[in-house]
Structure 1
Amino acid sequence: MRISSVSILFIAFAALAGCTMAPKYTRPAAPVPAAWPEGEAYKQTAATDNKPLADIPWQDFFVDENLRKLIALALENNRDLRVAALNIERSRAQYRIRRSDLFPKVDATADGSVQRISDDLSTTGRGDTVDQYSVGLGVSSYELDLFGRVRSLKDQALEQYLATEQARRSVQISLVAEVAANYLTLAADRERLKLARETLESQQSSYNLTKNRFDAGVSSALDLHQARTSVESARVDIARYTTLVAQDENALNLVVGAPVPAGLRPSALTETLTAMKDFTTGLPSDVLLQRPDILQAENLLKGANANIGAARANFFPRITLISSVGFGSNELSGLFTGDSFTWSFAPRITLPIFTAGENQANLDVAQTDRDIAVAQYEKTIQTAFREVADALAQRGTIDDQLSAQQAFTDATAETHNLSQLRYERGVDNYLQVLDAQRALYGAQQNLIGVRLVRLLNQATIYKVLGGGSK
């Protein structure tokens, strides 16, 4: 009958230990509209059967083979991603530490002591030497988690661990997009450098022609010096873009985490970054909930909510069990013989009576931390919504901008050709040619910039819609 009562008692303890005093978690409502923005800047697309971008692996999204190899190299060598992975291991270990507190810890002990008692201290008036030896198994300070304090701390550690996993996914998404951005920027600056060199050759030819005309008395000294300014301006741009190309290569090496082989560096902008012509954006509630940064913020919010349960449990008694079982003897040879079996059982209950407001303050801190986590979660959603909306706005207008810039460049090129012919025939002075050259060069540089923005927008949309973590 005694064994049955003990069993019932432990079953009751186990049932109580499964409960916590944490508030019931409810996901906060998303503080953003239920649909993406609409307006003149946003391109209206028909519904498609394409998979959401978050479900498309980066290997399927990017079609440039060199870029694929660089992304794979970055995922293997990038130090930020390594730190994120190590943070997962650290959080997993911390979670295991908290989880172990739910179970008793059994220690094996062995003690031995020899003590000489003097005549004055001996009860018999005669000095003696006392030997004591013991071995046993013991449970030290096992807390019966009746009010869920330990379980709440374990839940908080679990959410922290899950948050680090989402943080690693966020780092990977950002890394994929950053490699693509640095790759495209290097390609654009290499195109700009090539254009500057071609412009220098053209300006040098114009200068040589003007100098011959000046030597023949056909052109003025003003025309000659104006032609020289164009040559020097092109040389300045060559030096500037040479620096930018070197810096772009350094940035690409850093994000990849290893020196980028020369064969993988782009020589010019690709016209097709992805084979996808269109994609579905879905609803904000569907898209945003797949973003790992939002999932990370929610995990942290759940952890803060669990901490409230631990703070509430501090107001209630704690029951701690200390027990041991083993053998003891005053002679080493008699340790396991005779009546040497020993045991002890020492439960302890602690009831907070006066803590000078410490427990209430801890609860206030936990509740405030939860409120802060709610605000951070909502801000993360708002930031994500803004990032997607900005990318969609740029996507809706970038093709028109590219078309207009191309037409402007073509018209400027025709103007330059006509001004060059008029100068050679003596109709206009060289100032008209110089203005046309500068306008054409600027238009060509801007065209490279718009092409770069268009490609970067594709990579950005893939990132902000949650792609790149697979």
Structure 2
Amino acid sequence: MKPALAVLILMSLAGCALGPDYKRPDVSVPKGYRVPDPQSEAGDAASLADAPWFEVFQDEQLQRLIREALANNYDLRDAVARVDAARAVVGITRADQFPNAGVSGAVNFNRLSRDGATRIPTSVLPDQNRTFGSAALNLLSFEVDLWGKLRRATEAARAELLSAEENRKTVATVLVSDVATAYLSLRELDYALEISERTLKTRESSLELVKTRQGGGVATMLDLRQAEQLVETAAQSIPTLKQQIEQTENRISLLVAKNPDGVVRGRGFNEQTFPPEVPPGLPSSLLERRPDIRAAEQLLVGANARIGVAKAAYFPQLSLTGLLGGQSTQLASLFSGPSAAWSLVPQVSQPIFTAGRLKNGVRLAEAQRQGALIYYERTIQTAFAEVSNALIAHRRMRESRERQQALVNALRDRTRLAYVRYRGGVDTQLNALDADRDLFQAELTLASIRLGEMLTVVDLYKALGGGWK
């Protein structure tokens, strides 16, 4: 009983843990995000990222694609597997804190030679065949965690598990934004194709008019060639747009883990709607909302705990091994009283000279913690910059879209008047063709700017840490 009592006392003393306890570093958080017009941004805690992704992206087909991607995407499934692996590592590491018990047994069959190096007469050993058996219950094999090494290792493994889980959420956030970006780009390409096909029909009608006027001697051959040029320009853009559409469909198919195929469309490009306001919320809440920031912090927690593991190597290590069983030369008496056997082996080991191995192990752990701290701080600053960039882009793209829309409206009216004057014989064809060419390019530019405005909302939603819920 005395050895067992000593063991319990030692285990109760194993309460201290070497190494620093984790404390979240102080981070300089701005009062607000940098935006083009700070006075127009209210410092409200509500944020666009608080809305679920199916409220931000309201196209039914886009929602279906996002759900498929969240269920089937290869990158997300790989991230889930990494979480499962990290959870298993926690279980393996934590198991070292508890005693291990098992059962062992063996039977040896031997025949001793009478003519060996030491001759054995018959009077000493009547039977040359000998049988020896043993059976034991390994009560414990246990390292007493006097200095908290095993607890620090478990703390580090658990932090790495949480980091893997946050990384999974990061992958989900990026996946939602990637699917939305690809789908909106596809709808913009569809709209650009509509513009090109509509323009082509208009220019073919104009070409027929020029041919008629040229046949009547009103239009010149130069007028005819210029009209043909505009027709071919519009026709040439169509195959390029179709190529881009088909390749974008393939990209979406890959995101949802399907073979290359077409994509069912939902709302038209000009029917896509987003929340009227895109409030960013408070910068301080970004630290808790963005999963990549939380993942970086958990890596810092794990690196901090590894310092305690490294420092514990300086101190004595106490391990206990105990067994209970029987040993006998006759199997029939293996479990009888005289054959009983037990042992309890406390073992202490203390490093004396390691040529700087332990010191450098601590230095390595401290350097890794410093690297994790730098990565954590850089992740936070990157997040602030991404939100600010998205806010600036959203504001400027909206201004650009409003200007471009006014230009398109003016060019549409100019084109209408130019063709009316041309058909009435009071203006040259050159002015009509110039107006038509300018309108075509302006409409394509407007579609591109409108897409850019939509994508700034997607980028802002991702930068704020939304989408993974």
State the TM-score, normalizing by the size of structure 2: 0.93
SS in 1 for 2:269: coil
Give 5+ residue unaligned stretches, structure 1.
Answer: none
Deviation at 1:326, TM superposition (A): 0.7
Structure-2 separation of matches of 1:325 and 1:111: 14
- Distance change (3 Å), C-alpha of 1:238 and 1:267: farther
Matches within 5 A, 1:49-448: 51-119=46-114, 120=116, 126=124, 128-138=128-138, 141-258=141-258, 264-266=264-266, 268-274=268-274, 276-448=275-447
Give 5+ residue unaligned stretches, structure 2.
Answer: none
Structure-2 separation of matches of 1:383 and 1:111: 63
Matched, 1:27 2:24: yes
Structure-2 separation of matches of 1:116 and 1:82: 60
Structure-2 separation of matches of 1:166 and 1:398: 32
Q: Which amino acid aligns with 2:372?
A: A
- Distance change (3 Å), C-alpha of 1:192 and 1:86: same
SS in 2 for 1:187: helix
- Distance change (3 Å), C-alpha of 1:123 and 1:104: farther
Matched, 1:10 2:5: no
Give the aligned CA root-mean-square deviation in angstroms. 2.3
Deviation at 1:124, TM superposition (A): 6.1
CA contact (8 A) 2:149 2:309 kept: yes
Structure-1 separation of matches of 2:241 and 2:155: 54
Structure-2 separation of matches of 1:67 and 1:408: 31
CA deviation map 1:189-215 (0-9, x unaligned): 000011111111111111111122222
CA deviation map 1:395-449 (0-9, x unaligned): 2233322221111101111222222233334444333222211210111011111
CA contact (8 A) 1:131 1:331 kept: yes
Q: Which amino acid aligns with 2:280?
A: T
- Distance change (3 Å), C-alpha of 1:109 and 1:121: farther
CA contact (8 A) 2:32 2:43 kept: no
CA contact (8 A) 1:156 1:306 kept: yes
CA contact (8 A) 2:249 2:262 kept: no
Q: Which amino acid aligns with 1:10?
A: L
Deviation at 1:38, TM superposition (A): 4.3
CA contact (8 A) 1:301 1:370 kept: yes
Structure-2 separation of matches of 1:143 and 1:208: 93
Structure-1 separation of matches of 2:452 and 2:102: 65
- Distance change (3 Å), C-alpha of 1:35 and 1:338: same
Deviation at 1:141, TM superposition (A): 4.8
SS in 1 for 2:32: coil
How many percent of aligned residue pairs carry the same amino acid?
Answer: 36
State the TM-score, normalizing by the size of structure 1: 0.92
Structure-1 separation of matches of 2:149 and 2:118: 49
SS in 2 for 1:115: strand
CA contact (8 A) 1:31 1:378 kept: no
CA deviation map 1:82-104 (0-9, x unaligned): 11111111110011000001111
Deviation at 1:43, TM superposition (A): 7.3
Q: Which amino acid aligns with 1:113?
A: N
Q: Which amino acid aligns with 2:147?
A: F
SS in 1 for 2:289: coil
SS in 2 for 1:21: coil
Structure-2 separation of matches of 1:218 and 1:265: 47
CA contact (8 A) 2:287 2:294 kept: no
CA contact (8 A) 1:183 1:266 kept: no
Mean Cα deviation higher: 55-64 or 261-270: 261-270
Matched, 1:458 2:454: no
SS in 1 for 2:413: helix
